[in-house]
Structure 1
Amino acid sequence: MSEPDLVAMAALLEASGQYRVLRKLGERPVLPVPEGEKVRVGLFVDVETTGLDTRRDEIIELAMIPFRYGLDGRVYEVMDPFHGYRQPARPIPAEITALTGIDDAMVEGQDIDPEAVAAFAAPAALVIAHNASFDRRLLERFSPVFQTKPWACSMSQIDWKSEGHEGVKLAYLAAGAGFFYDRHRATSDCAAAIELLARDLPKSGQPALARLLEQARTSSWRIWAENSPFAMKDKLKARGYRWSGDDAVPSRCWYVDVAEADKDAELLFLRQEIYGGDIDPLIRKIDAYDRFSDRC
């Protein structure tokens, strides 16, 4: 059956109101850059690993796709990718192979050159990942170049649910946007995420990348409730505070990240409702150069 016939059939199904059609993700066309428009290079990254421990598990697959974008969030060109496999020190767990399709035979004898990765990432004005708190920590262990870059997270820094999506997983977002792709393969994941960022959000009409850039450019504050009364733990948790583990600095205390505009109100909340007096909590300003890293 010819391509025009398939397109016509898909249109007919959609017009009936009884079907939703998912189209396979293809190459995104290159758009002309308006005269005088300033463009930057973004870099979308994705890793597949031996597990979820960012301190101990290893990268077994890395993909990076650069793309050119305008300061208003319009994506003009998706460029050639970087891709590599890497043999870890230990066999790949069976559950990882089941999830990703990557087995020991695929990575045997393979390596990823950190210097090649650094050179490829060097032009990027912004690094993006879908779950940057995971990818950034692993990639900073792999190459120091990622410590020098501002980062953004396409999963947590766009309010996908308010735009009508039912979840934030990449596959859910893609299905909601009307396309599908080869899941849990690093290059395909990057391409799918860039496609989502290049599209307008369904309710606001704003380019998704524009929304992400707004969030990436905004500083926030981390506020720690050190030595807070044990009886206040439920109140802190209900307000969005999280517990820092033994490896964090400071360790074993509640903390929250708030926007610049909310900092004073949060400090007042701690003084009035948690400590019952005038205290000076530990606070730290966080921007895209540290956000999602082990440094904060």
Structure 2
Amino acid sequence: MQEPLLKFYDDTGFEAQINALSKSDNHKIMRRITFPKTSQIDITKQPNYKDYTIHRGIYLDTETTGLLHDEDEVIQLCMLPFIYAKNPNSCHTVIFGVYEPYIAFQEPSQPLKPIITDITGITMEMLVGQSLDIEKIQNYLEKSEIIIAHNAAFDRPFTHAISSKFVEKNWACSFADIKWQEQGFESRKLGHLAADFGYYFDAHQADKDCYAGLAILLETNDEGISYFQQLIENSQMDSITLRAQGAAFDKKDVLKERGYIWKDGSDGISKGWEITVSEIESEEEKTWLTVNIYNGIPSYLEEIKCARTRYC
């Protein structure tokens, strides 16, 4: 793997120790993720830089009062803006700048459940009197072409309650839009991926989750292709959302294991287990549903989606 151009860590003062440990097969270096010390690189040093087009994006994370989009509320929002360049000829895509995030708390209408404080470290005292700056949020959105979240199917619906501007944007998911497991990763969870790349961070804090997500995307696979480039390419393709309505109750664990998530019907569609796959994968997935869930008589719903409509 290549060293990332932007580094979400700081080795200052420990270079000698890190160099020594990096030569040992009995040790692994774990770096705490922080905001980059150098937050922008010179894009003109890229080969054929004049061919690149410049784009802006946001890495986003929310902390909420619970998991239900129609009942729970956002209590913390982080929007981490970045700038990237794409070569339309080679498809090479590189993030070359990241900027200070917008991060804020919001007081919920009901007291926090103790489990939310246990998970996030956020207390009701931290939230009292706090609110999101909608005008500032919309200014961030106007400058951005794409929003990325780790599990966008969770974050995106919550943001729609904040501003309709979120509805109008293209979205990508660093959890679902990259074939992590096919590339040798055991888990797609953010903390596990970070550890695989030698990072650790304070999870379930919106800003730290954003730093971690972008740090992971800056890494490259064995072929020198960044996971960010994979994400952008995959997010631009149409996908197929399948909803397994009427599946037998005893099939729920099989569906969950395969990556399906439960939809309660609050979106106006029949309740059922849902998954989003690429067009190429859709025929295989429909066959799997027909054989393993419906005993040969399919009863799933199918919808074509793009970056604008995915993860709603």
The CA distance in 2 between the partners of 1:180 and 1:259, in whole Å, is: 31
Which residue identity is paired with 1:47? Answer: T
The answer as to 2:279 corresponding to 1:260 is yes
Equivalent residue of 1:35, what SS? helix
Q: Which amino acid aligns with 2:234?
A: Q
Q: 1:77 aligns with which of 89, 97, 119?
A: 97
Task: Kindly state the Cα deviation for residue 226 of structure 1 after the two structures are TM-superposed.
Answer: 6.3
1:199-234 Cα shifts (integer Å, max 9, x gaps): 213x34311111101111010223456678x79x79
Structure (1 or 2) with the larger CA radius of gyration: 1
Residue in 2 that maps onto 1:87: 107
| Pairing 1:215–2:230 present | no
Matched, 1:121 2:141: yes
Three-state SS of the structure 2 residue aligned to 1:74 is: strand
Residue 126 of structure 2: aligned partner: 106
TM-score (norm 1): 0.83
Task: Give per-residue Cα distances to partners, 1:118-176, cap 9 Å, x unaligned.
Answer: 11211111000011011101001111010000101101111222333332221211121
Aligned pair in 2 of structure 1 residues 18, 114: CA closer, same or farther (>3 Å)?
same
On the 8 A contact 1:163/1:204 being kept in 2, the answer is no
Matches within 5 A, 1:171-210: 171-201=191-221, 203-210=222-229
Alignment pair present for 1:25 and 2:33: yes
Going from structure 1 to structure 2, the CA distance change for 1:21 and 1:263 (only over 3 Å counts) comes to: closer
Aligned to 2:8: none
**Count of residues in correspondence between the two structures:** 287
In the TM superposition, residue 101 of structure 1 has moved relative to its aligned partner by: 1.3
Q: How big is the alpha-carbon RMSD for the aligned residues of Structure 1 and Structure 2?
A: 3.1
Residue aligned with 1:84, SS: strand
2:53 pairs with 1:38? yes
Q: Which runs of 5+ in 2 are unaligned?
A: 1-10, 44-48, 87-91
Q: For 1:91-170, list aligned pairs within 5 A.
A: 91-170=111-190
Q: CA deviation at 1:60?
A: 1.1
Task: Please say if 1:290 is aligned against 2:309.
Answer: yes
Distance 1:239 1:165 in 2: 16
Normalising to structure 2: TM-score of the pair?
0.79
Q: Which amino acid aligns with 1:247?
A: S
Q: Distance in 2 between matches of 1:239 and 1:105?
A: 40
The residue identity in structure 1 corresponding to 2:99 is M
Higher alpha-carbon deviation: 216-225 or 264-273: 264-273
214-223 vs 247-256, which moves further: 247-256
Larger deviation: 97-106 or 262-271?
Answer: 262-271
CA, structure 1 residues 178+223, in 2 after alignment: closer, same or farther (shift >3 Å)? closer
8 Å contact 1:50–1:58 — kept in the other structure? yes
Measure the CA separation in 2 of the matches of 1:271 and 1:175. 37
1:5 to partner: Cα distance = 5.8
1:9 aligns with 2:17: yes
